[in-house]
Amino acid sequence: MPSGTISHGAACVLGHAIEIEGVSVRLDGVNILENVNAGVPMGKLSALIGPNGAGKTTLLMTMLGLLPHQGAVRFCGCGPHGSGVPRVGYVPQRLDFDRAAPISVLDFMCVAIQGRPLFLGRRRSLSRRGREALARVGAEKLAERPLGRLSGGELQRVLLAQVLLEDPHVILLDEPVSGVDAAGEQLFLDLVREITAPGERTVLMVSHDISVVAERAEHVIALNRSVVAQGPPREVLSTEVLLELFGVRVHHLGACADRDHGSAAPAKPCSCGHDHSAEGKQP
Amino acid sequence: MSFDSLAGQLLAPLDDLMAVLPLPGMEYGWHRNALLAALLVAPMCATLGIQVVTFRMAFFSDAVAHSAYTGVALGILAFGTHATVGVTLAMMAFGVLVGLGVAVLRERSRQAPDAVIGVVFPAVVALGLVVTALASDRGLTATMGPFLFGDVLNMTAGDVLFLALLAVPVFVFQAAGYNRLLLIGLNPVLARTRGIRTGVWSAAFAALVALVVTGSVRTVGVLVVGGLLVAPAAAARNVARSAGGMFWWALVFSTISAVVGVELAFVLKKAPTGPVVILCATVIYGLSEAWRSAHKR
């Protein structure tokens, strides 16, 4: 029987925000996750990558305490001496509602934090908090718009604003850029980087998009039922790991060039130690 | 003192107030009771209807309403034709049982939710038909009529008080659960991370819908009670601009339907009251659709 634990405010290795130790999840007789061990560095943007069915979302749900599991998930103490219980926020991939529902963006901001039923009005203080959070993601103009009228990118920003309402130490993002156009994706990732920037907020983002990960993430966990590799992007996003992960050669857009050398020295050999000439040739 | 006479005393001030309303038929006690019953049932159904529409449970509520037929048959079989309270309680208990049963099956089964309901719904009605046929010598068929088609003109003060008591948990539930159910509808995982026990709330909602629908069938009838649940809420979604506004529009539309429906049926003399109320709600829904398309919303 699953006897896993999830602890908040645990003692961890210095510099870790989350530690995942020996986590296994079995659903309907199928092993979705097997002995996952990973550490998520504090104050950084980490990405969780892997093919479809690798268990990325399952791992996220497990960390949120929503699935029976074995092993331990530790959200590390966030105070000055490693004490203090961290607040954990979750950003879903999308909302399930029909677009005709008369729910405004500000309704959505208030619905999760307001005890008083919405039909007795939104609390003024909470509306203000909602507008402030929307302003942080550049969406203050959307406050009165119906949720169903938002574009994919706008909805993503509103979802991000929603998680900022409670100023979480750790944010778990589920496939944040799927279904958003390129410009919206860039804007969203800039925002994510901005909210992580103070170094105190930890973001773990599930992603399909290797180029996005290569460009933005500071730490990568490659998952395929168990952890295939983890570390800085230039180490993890090697041809060998990607081949093992996805079963095909995946071309990622110059992870090393952007990160280590900039565009000034494109001809220099890449420090990540693998041959880029092999990439881009799909078998 | 019987429940009816106690209810009569409790409701006397309200009844006096109703008697001076400038509406047709207010001189008759049965008409006042009918209007009061409709004014309790319609808003109760309409506010729950908001979530029924959100969670796509219109078919579910219809199935539960029809289980009232079987519940009545079983109740009459158990308590006899004259035990109104016993029969009503049996009907409601059976409705809640069917509602929770469907809710559990929907969770556990791999079938689509409407397929699960599509299996349970006819089975429950079939059971009712078999029971009524087997017990036809016990005067069952005649007693079923008021439940099938509604019997709002024979409502006693006790019936009205019963509906008022039923309204209490509905509005308490809405006060506590409106935001939570809205969030569950938007994203169940997000709701769970916010500490909302989605399973408990969904089951409580299914049970409450069953309780209200079966409690309302004597007012409007098994066949059409679904209209009171869905039509005002659907109309409210067409005109409201916020999640809170939706609640009040549903209340307003259902109240208008109740008053206009009961009075119209009185003026038309031969028209059955429950169905006229439903038709009023349907007309309002039609107007809301027209309004919506005119405003391109």
State pLDDT tens for residues B247-296. 999 999 999 999 999 999 999 988 889 999 999 999 999 999 999 999 86
Alpha helices by DSSP H, chain B: 3-19, 29-54, 58-79, 84-108, 113-134, 140-149, 157-186, 188-193, 198-220, 225-239, 243-268, 273-294
The string of DSSP codes covering A130-175 is HHHHHHHTT-GGGTTSBGGG--HHHHHHHHHHHHHTT--SEEEESS
Name which of B47, B55, B108, B179 to mutate to probe chain A: the one with the most chain A Cβ atoms within 10 A of its Cβ.
B179
pLDDT of residue B132: 85
> What would the mean pLDDT of A71-91 be, rounded to a whole number?
84
CATH of the domain at B201: 1.10.3470.10
Of A90, A101, A119, the CB nearest to B237: A101
Instruction: Flag if A119 and B54 touch (Cβ within 8 Å).
Output: no
CA distance A12 to A2: 23
- Name the least confident of A60-64, A119-123, A173-177: A173-177
Domain count, chain B: 1
Q: Is residue B49 part of a domain?
A: yes
Distance from the A271 Cα atom to the nearest Cα atom in chain B, whole angstroms = 41
> What would the mean pLDDT of A114-118 be, rounded to a whole number?
92
Of B186, B192, B245, the CB nearest to A108: B186
Of A66, A103, A115, the CB nearest to B243: A103
* B243 CB within 8 Å of a chain A CB: yes
Instruction: Flag if A118 and B185 touch (Cβ within 8 Å).
Output: no
Instruction: Flag if A107 and B178 touch (Cβ within 8 Å).
Output: no
Q: Which amino acid is at B95?
A: G
Q: Is residue B268 part of a domain?
A: no
Instruction: Flag if B186 and A102 touch (Cβ within 8 Å).
Output: no
* A97 CB within 8 Å of a chain B CB: yes
pLDDT of residue A265: 35
pLDDT of residue A177: 64
pLDDT band at A249 (very low <50, low <70, confident <90, very high): low
pLDDT of residue A125: 93
* B179 CB within 8 Å of a chain A CB: yes
Instruction: Flag if B242 and A118 touch (Cβ within 8 Å).
Output: yes
The string of DSSP codes covering B120-172 is HHHHHHHHHHHHHHHTGGGTHHHHHHHHHH--GGG--HHHHHHHHHHHHHHHH
A vs B: CB pairs below 8 A: 85
Instruction: Flag if B245 and A102 touch (Cβ within 8 Å).
Output: yes
Q: Convert the pLDDT of each residue in B79-89 to its tens digit.
A: 877 777 888 88
CA distance B189 to B200: 14
Q: Residue B142: which domain range?
A: 27-217
The pLDDT of residue B76 is above 90: no
The pLDDT of residue A256 is above 70: no
* A105 CB within 8 Å of a chain B CB: no
pLDDT of residue B88: 86
Q: Is residue B168 part of a domain?
A: yes
Q: Is residue B273 part of a domain?
A: no
Instruction: Flag if B189 and A90 touch (Cβ within 8 Å).
Output: yes
**Do A174 and A60 touch, CB atoms closer than 8 A?**
yes
CA distance B189 to B175: 22
> What would the mean pLDDT of A5-27 be, rounded to a whole number?
90
> What would the mean pLDDT of B225-237 be, rounded to a whole number?
94
Residues contacting residue B15 through CB under 8 Å, at least 6 positions apart: B29, B32, B157
Give the Cα-Cα-Cα angle B240, B242, B243 (nearest 5 degrees): 105
- Chain A residue numbers touching B183 (CB-CB < 8 A): 111-112
pLDDT of residue A34: 94
Find, in chain A, the residue whose alpha carbon is nearest to that of B187: A95
pLDDT of residue B208: 95
Q: Is residue B226 part of a domain?
A: no
Q: Is residue B181 part of a domain?
A: yes
- Tell me what ipTM this predicted complex has: 0.86
pLDDT band at A187 (very low <50, low <70, confident <90, very high): confident
What six digits make up the tokens of A162? 């929603």
Find, in chain B, the residue whose alpha carbon is nearest to that of A61: B189
Percent of chain B with pLDDT over 70: 98
* B58 CB within 8 Å of a chain A CB: no
> What would the mean pLDDT of B201-213 be, rounded to a whole number?
93
Q: Is residue B183 part of a domain?
A: yes
More confident residue, B296 or B187: B187
Instruction: Flag if B237 and A92 touch (Cβ within 8 Å).
Output: no
The pLDDT of residue A282 is above 60: no
Distance from the A199 Cα atom to the nearest Cα atom in chain B, whole angstroms = 24
- Estimate to the nearest angstrom the gap between the alpha carbon of A207 and the chain centroid: 7
The pLDDT of residue B136 is above 80: no
Distance from the B196 Cα atom to the nearest Cα atom in chain A, whole angstroms = 10
Q: Residues 121-150, chain A: which have Cβ within 8 Å of B?
A: 121-122, 146
pLDDT of residue B161: 93
Instruction: Flag if A96 and B185 touch (Cβ within 8 Å).
Output: yes
Q: Which amino acid is at A242?
A: L
DSSP bridge partners of A226 = A224
The pLDDT of residue B151 is above 90: no
Q: Is residue B281 part of a domain?
A: no
Of B194, B244, B246, the CB nearest to A121: B244
Q: Convert the pLDDT of each residue in B153-185 to its tens digit.
A: 888 898 899 999 999 999 999 999 999 999 999
pLDDT of residue A272: 39
- Chain A residue numbers touching B176 (CB-CB < 8 A): 117
pLDDT of residue A262: 37
Q: Convert the pLDDT of each residue in A126-183 to its tens digit.
A: 999 999 999 998 899 999 999 988 988 889 899 999 999 988 999 999 887 666 777 7
- Chain B residue numbers touching A117 (CB-CB < 8 A): 174-176, 178-179, 244, 247
- Chain A residue numbers touching B174 (CB-CB < 8 A): 117, 119
The pLDDT of residue A259 is above 80: no
Instruction: Flag if B241 and A102 touch (Cβ within 8 Å).
Output: yes
pLDDT of residue A178: 63
> What would the mean pLDDT of B107-133 be, rounded to a whole number?
89
More confident residue, A259 or A175: A175
Find, in chain A, the residue whose alpha carbon is nearest to that of B174: A117
Of A64, A114, A121, the CB nearest to B179: A114
Instruction: Flag if B247 and A100 touch (Cβ within 8 Å).
Output: no
The pLDDT of residue A281 is above 50: no
Q: Convert the pLDDT of each residue in A17-37 to its tens digit.
A: 999 999 999 988 899 999 999
For A75-89, letters b (16+ CB in 10 Å) and e give bbbbeeeeeeebebb
The pLDDT of residue B137 is above 80: no
pLDDT band at A39 (very low <50, low <70, confident <90, very high): very high
Alpha helices by DSSP H, chain A: 56-63, 105-111, 124-136, 152-164, 182-196, 210-216, 233-236, 239-246, 255-256
**Do A43 and A86 touch, CB atoms closer than 8 A?**
no
Distance from the B274 Cα atom to the nearest Cα atom in chain A, whole angstroms = 28
> What would the mean pLDDT of A88-111 be, rounded to a whole number?
89
Q: Convert the pLDDT of each residue in A232-243 to its tens digit.
A: 988 888 888 888
CA distance B136 to B127: 14
- Name the least confident of A57-61, A102-106, B130-134, B204-208: B130-134
> What would the mean pLDDT of B211-238 be, rounded to a whole number?
91
- Chain A residue numbers touching B189 (CB-CB < 8 A): 61, 64, 66, 90, 92
* B244 CB within 8 Å of a chain A CB: yes
CA distance A48 to A59: 9
The pLDDT of residue B228 is above 60: yes
Mean pLDDT of chain A: 82
pLDDT of residue A278: 40
CA distance A175 to A168: 19
